[in-house]
Chains A and B, each alone.
Chain A
Amino acid sequence: MVPDYNENEGEREAVSLKAANRSLVAVSPLLPVSTSGLRAWFYLVWLSWRRQARSQQMVWIAVGLLLFSVSLVAIFTARGAWSMRYWRWPYRQGPTYMQWADEVQLLASLPDASAEGQGVQAALAASVRGIILYSGFPIFSHWIVFLLFLSFLVPLFNLSFATEALGGERESNSLIWLLSRPLPRPAIYLAKFAALLPWTIGLTLGGFVLLCLVGGRSGVLALRLYWPSVLAATLAFSSLFYFMGATFRRPAVAAIVYAFFLEVIFGNMPGYLKRISIGFYARCMMFDAAGDFGVQPERPEIFLPVDGATALVVLLGLTVILLGIGTVVFSRAQYHEVV
């Protein structure tokens, strides 16, 4: 990927060494040494990864937000919120759902009811109890995974770190130090992307693991079923927002327009328009994985989901394509503000 560039290097070093003997000014007193593009590339990955942490406010807000969400979920879990057991009907006033189920059970045991009637009512009560007891996973999926995590935390973590990767360098005018090194531009683009992934994957996937682990049984099931889609969505979002960093002068603003306006509008449109939103495919993967557990789109005839495998292919394909386009754009771009 990155060619070595040690041609004539030894020779030049030798000349420089001779010159050093002649004059006080020698650039290096060392013996001939070869340089390696690959070594430089790996160093750039490490350097970029480390420099992402310099934006301390960003890291602190991200970690703070994650910890806040995890604490909330932990509190909800402790209060048994992942079940309809304590829901009331009428809303917040009447008996709880479980009390209603008990009432049905009670009715069934009345002596004057017929045997068939008793049987049907008992079956009904048992199924209602079952639904109530196992309602935790769909509730957790819908409100925590789909709504809070996938609609907000995943795009936000990705957009902040991915736009900052190149956008931050551009904003602080330090991109020139990379562009004036003898490194191919595509290699610089890919290195910074490689350095970005530990941050975004760490925050989204790591955050998801934490969120699910404190979510009790429903959370553990969600983790087992949903982690591939979280990973795939992270890759796609990262490559998209990173590409925006190479393209726009204010990538973070362009990214929120996409993440919190276009994704919302497209995502709620009927028909096929929503298929240009990354969140749609991530959701499809999740619906496909959790279909057996009662998690499905509210109105499949409007949502028009694709199957999980297709969604995965689309997300990974999108990652590769956006990375490719970004590499080309970055390789040809002239960053006036950095020079």
Chain B
Amino acid sequence: MPDLLDSPNSGRGDRPLTALSVGRDPKESGEDNRSLTVAVPTPLLLCQRVSKWYGPVIGVNQVTLELRSGITGLVGSNGAGKSTLMRLITGQLRPDLGSIEIRGHDAWSTAARRHVGYCPELDSFYEEMSGRQFVEAMARLCGYPRRVAIDRAAFALERVGMAGRAERRVRGYSKGMRQRIKLAQALLHDPELLVLDEPLSGIDPVGRDEFVRLFRDLASMGKCLLISSHELEELEKLTDHLAIMAHGRIAAVGTVAQIRDRLDNHPLLIRIDVKRNSPGDNDSANDERRRLAAGLLKLNDVVGVELLDARSEDAVDPVLVRARNPQRFFQELTRLVLEEWYEIARLETLDDSTSAVLGYLLRGRSA
């Protein structure tokens, strides 16, 4: 689905164009990108055609990503590959193909980790410690002297709103408090890139607003934030620079409006199986199918209809439809089916990534 990623303007209006350029090889970047590459020689984060397998399952598939500053939202359903991508960026995993560089250092190297603050999704700590002890320990593991570590930990805890509650043992913390502690430890060494895996999950609405403010402030300081979530609305509040992940790929990138526009112009491939009236009676089946095809062609958004060969043992006849503006198309299709009463055995979007992006956008709009 390359055209979804072919962004003529991959930045947002109020910040530099190269702040985010996702989904294509930077070496093949356009004119605008080149001019800015001269200004900032090494991007903060550069993933080039990164793939990662878990045995036979592909976790991340050919992802190319470049970040320089600002907040980028990474959205996708569970299992879409967001966490794997973040683990790759923070040097917890190694890509099987491709490369990841942070300020020119391989993400696996120690040098790269100095530039990265990571807030992982998993929820385990040194449970026997208090929140403050934990964050202090993390600061000391960054190599700060004791007094400095104590001060830095105190400051980071204050930033995440845990200063008054950090003396209790982590074991007794609520989910929200744990998230705050995780965020505090990521801020300790003042990293340029903050990789935050689902930082808002489990946090109450008031806490979310605090976090959103904090993230914006960090971004305004020139930090680069990569924040994942499976809720689009949540990230829309924070940034309109989004990358939608599906099946290990970055399926779409840009602002929500841009993605919707491009999706509307991108013909969607849909397979509709019409139930055959009486098995073996090919003529009547063809009638039904042709009737549907004719009905479909009358719809405004349908670009083309193709009748696929049906296997005689199946009791269905498949029809392949290409349609633009999916949301309107599906509304009209529903109306058509109900009015004309077609028996649809199966309806399937053949482009998985588009389907996933669409799922997100439709949900976002209906919300």
**A complexed with B:** yes
Q: Are B221's CB and A43's CB within 8 A?
A: no
- Interface-lining segment among A34-42, A118-126, A133-141, A313-321: A34-42
Q: Are A30's CB and B114's CB within 8 A?
A: no
- Chain A, Cβ-Cβ closest to B84: A339
Given A3, A27, A180, A184, which contacts B187 in the complex, CB threshold below 8 Å? A27
Q: Are B114's CB and A334's CB within 8 A?
A: no
Q: Are A33's CB and B92's CB within 8 A?
A: no
Given A27, A39, A51, A339, which contacts B145 in the complex, CB threshold below 8 Å? A39
Q: Are B155's CB and A174's CB within 8 A?
A: no
Q: Are A23's CB and B221's CB within 8 A?
A: yes
Q: How far is the CA of A339 from the CA of B145 in the complex (A)?
A: 28
Q: Which of A50-66 contact B (CB under 8 A)?
A: 51, 54
Residue tally, chain B, CB below 8 Å to A: 46
The answer to whether residues A13 and B114 also contact, given A33-B145, A174-B124, A339-B93 and a CB cut-off of 8 A, is: no
Q: How far is the CA of A178 from the CA of B126 in the complex (A)?
A: 11
**Which residues of the partner chain A approach B120 to less than 8 Å between Cβ atoms?**
176, 180, 339
Q: Are B143's CB and A174's CB within 8 A?
A: no
Q: How far is the CA of A23 from the CA of B221 in the complex (A)?
A: 8
* A101 interface residue per 8 A CB criterion: no
- Interface-lining segment among B71-79, B134-142, B254-262: B134-142
- Chain B, Cβ-Cβ closest to A179: B92
Q: Are B140's CB and A40's CB within 8 A?
A: yes
* A93 interface residue per 8 A CB criterion: no
Q: How far is the CA of A15 from the CA of B223 in the complex (A)?
A: 11
B42-62 vs A, CB cutoff 8 Å, 1 = contact: the mask equals: 000000000000100000000
Q: Are B92's CB and A176's CB within 8 A?
A: yes
Q: How far is the CA of A54 from the CA of B134 in the complex (A)?
A: 14
A174-186 vs B, CB cutoff 8 Å, 1 = contact: the mask equals: 1011111111110
Q: How far is the CA of A28 from the CA of B221 in the complex (A)?
A: 13
Given A3, A19, A35, which contacts B189 in the complex, CB threshold below 8 Å? A35
Among A16, A174, A181, residue most surrounded by chain B Cβ atoms (within 10 Å): A181
Q: Are A33's CB and B122's CB within 8 A?
A: no
Q: Are A12's CB and B151's CB within 8 A?
A: no
- Chain A, Cβ-Cβ closest to B128: A54
The answer to whether residues A25 and B148 also contact, given A5-B111, A40-B143, A44-B141 and a CB cut-off of 8 A, is: no
- Chain A, Cβ-Cβ closest to B52: A334
Among A16, A44, A182, residue most surrounded by chain B Cβ atoms (within 10 Å): A182
Q: Are B113's CB and A180's CB within 8 A?
A: yes
**Which residues of the partner chain A approach B143 to less than 8 Å between Cβ atoms?**
4-5, 35-37, 39-40, 182
Q: How far is the CA of A27 from the CA of B217 in the complex (A)?
A: 11
Task: Give min CB distance, B132 to chain A, whole Å.
Answer: 15
28 contacts between A and B (CB under 8 A): A15-B222, A23-B217, A23-B220, A24-B217, A25-B159, A26-B155, A27-B188, A27-B190, A29-B155, A30-B152, A33-B144, A39-B140, A39-B145, A44-B141, A51-B126, A177-B125, A178-B141, A179-B92, A180-B116, A181-B113, A181-B138, A182-B110, A182-B143, A334-B92, A336-B93, A339-B83, A339-B87, A339-B92
